[in-house]
Structure 1
Amino acid sequence: MKSDINKRDGKRDGKRSIPSQVILGAFVIGMGVLFLLDNLDIFDFHRAVAFWPAAFILFGVIKLLDTQSPNGALVGAILIGVGAVMTINRLGFMHINMRALWPLLIIFLGAAVICKAVTGRRMLGMQSKDDDATDAVVDITAILGGFDRRITTPAFRGGEVTAVMGGCMLDLRGSSIEGEAVLNVFALMGGITLKVPPDWTVALNGTPIMGGFDEKTITAPHNNKRLVIRGYAIMGGVEVRN
């Protein structure tokens, strides 16, 4: 039963990731068109390069479309907010002193801690009937820092791991899977390392953007335990090893 549920969840995740890939593809096409117009002396692309902070808005939208957790939504909102403020400043509509706005980072981090605490207690209350359920689905976020966690559960179902200018290490070697589990990853100028048992089959379906996905695992003896990894590595890296 759990295997069927995981498969259905995986299909929903696949459908959910399509809009973000469409947005990313449209962005790449747009960049190509701008470079072409610059080479044809129709448009001076060098002026548009000055508005590179708009990339943060793009990354934030991608995160919002792919996330299924409040922490992920908060990270997406932060990226969009940072990109919007920096872009407005460069457009000259507002003269914003970035040094005066640095306390906003502390406010965002405090909001993330509160959000994590509230949602964590809610999940514990919903899953109190199962002692191992708290580790079955993970929701890990590291911003400007590191996170190291060991998971031991007989029925890992996946979850979400986010690293923004930080690092996450998730040790799953003491866990098992009933059928298939889906793990969404998002590494922006950061790194995510996953350690999995040797009897797990790993399927990497991520999208690297000036980053990389690296699998260093041995071939599993069977295919009845499958971990599907989806998401993005933007100027960062995701490594899976056993």
Structure 2
Amino acid sequence: MNQLSKKNNDGSIAVGFIILGIGVILLLRKLGFFIPGWVLSWPMILIAIGVFTLIKHEFRSFFGAVMLFLGSYFLLRNEFGFDFGLGQYIWPIGLIVLGIYLITQKRREKQVLDDIRQNWQSKNSKTSFGSSSVEDAKVVDENGNTSSTSSNDSSFSGSGFTRTTGTSFHDRLNIDAIFSGVNRKFMSKNFQGGKITAAFGGADLDLTQVDFNGVITIQVDIIFGGVKLFVPPHWDIRTEVTNIAAGLEDKRFFREGGVDTSKVVVLKGTILFGGLEIKSF
């Protein structure tokens, strides 16, 4: 329960300080104090978003780094005349950086999955020592049909799999909707959270069939995109998401019995000019 005792920072306090600061600056200008014009320019908004996101995520946010770079570049170019000769290269460089990030992120996640697989196989070999077989695992597909497969099958060695129909048996979310759309239905009974990134794209994720106990975290980063999460109505959803010109709505139909405090989902991340909807069937 220590994870639940952390300060619930949904970004509203920081946004309040930003608005307060803007108001103070405008007041000082009206009173005749000299305030440089670039302080209230639009690149400063990107810089503020980048700095805030980096601080919140302990300087490990790709989104925050990109916002800080773009804001600094346009501020120096528009207000101080420093172009650095990057004007014609800014978009190609941006695409290259994005591609490198996605490649390295996939490799990092693959390494994590490999470590999980090795640990799982190690534990499984210890528990099955001296026996001729291991109990078969039951898999339920999207039509409700059951089939069995040996737990020694490599396709079930910790990482899960995704059918061509969009049904996924992965235990962790790993969704990247970059200039595209993603539609997934998850069936894991050992759900562990994960991450969702939507940039100029969207994702519809059905989590109504997954199960877990305790506290899980889902990192959600949305910029000019949208994400819909379909979850059971009794989950305890807690948000620590920063909304900037964006929307976050919980549209679930709550039923009798209230929320189940043994199933807590903590949403973290940043939504910029986008939206996140939480729904239930």
**TM-score, normalisation: structure 1:** 0.77
Pairing 1:1-242 to 2, within 5 Å after superposition: 7-11=1-5, 14=7, 17=9, 24-43=15-34, 48-49=39-40, 51-67=41-57, 73-95=61-83, 96=85, 98-128=87-117, 129=120, 131=157, 135-220=170-255, 221=257, 222-223=259-260, 224-242=262-280
Q: Which residue identity is paired with 1:178?
A: N
Q: Judge conservation of contact 2:38–2:44 (CA < 8 Å) in 1.
A: no
Deviation at 1:104, TM superposition (A): 0.6
Deviation at 1:142, TM superposition (A): 3.4
Q: Judge conservation of contact 1:209–1:235 (CA < 8 Å) in 2.
A: yes
Q: Judge conservation of contact 2:113–2:158 (CA < 8 Å) in 1.
A: no
Deviation at 1:65, TM superposition (A): 3.6
Tell me, which stretches of 5 or more residues in structure 2 are unaligned? Answer: 122-156, 161-169
Deviation at 1:205, TM superposition (A): 4.5
Aligned residue for 2:46, secondary structure, equals helix
Deviation at 1:214, TM superposition (A): 0.6
Q: Which residue identity is paired with 2:264?
A: R
Aligned residue for 1:206, secondary structure, equals strand
* CA RMSD across the alignment: 3.1
Q: Which residue identity is paired with 2:49?
A: F
Cα 1:189–1:207 change in 2 (3 A) is same
Higher RCO (CA-CA < 8 Å; seq separation 6+): 1
Distance in structure 1 (CA, Å) of the matches to 2:4 and 2:158: 21
Distance in structure 1 (CA, Å) of the matches to 2:178 and 2:54: 16
Distance in structure 2 (CA, Å) of the matches to 1:56 and 1:144: 21
Deviation at 1:46, TM superposition (A): 5.7
Deviation at 1:176, TM superposition (A): 1.0
Distance in structure 2 (CA, Å) of the matches to 1:65 and 1:227: 23
Distance in structure 2 (CA, Å) of the matches to 1:64 and 1:11: 23
Structure with the larger helix share: 1
Q: Residues 153-177 of structure 1, C-alpha deviation per residue, up to 9 Å, x if partnerless?
A: 1122323323333323322122112
Count of aligned positions: 230
Q: Judge conservation of contact 1:58–1:80 (CA < 8 Å) in 2.
A: yes
Q: Judge conservation of contact 2:181–2:201 (CA < 8 Å) in 1.
A: yes
**TM-score, normalisation: structure 2:** 0.68
- Identity across the alignment (%): 25
Q: Residues 68-119 of structure 1, C-alpha deviation per residue, up to 9 Å, x if partnerless?
A: 8x9x733322222222211111232512452332211221122022112211
Higher Rg of the two aligned structures: 2
Deviation at 1:30, TM superposition (A): 1.8
Higher mean alpha-carbon deviation, 119-128 vs 231-240, is at 231-240
Aligned residue for 1:99, secondary structure, equals coil
Aligned residue for 2:88, secondary structure, equals helix
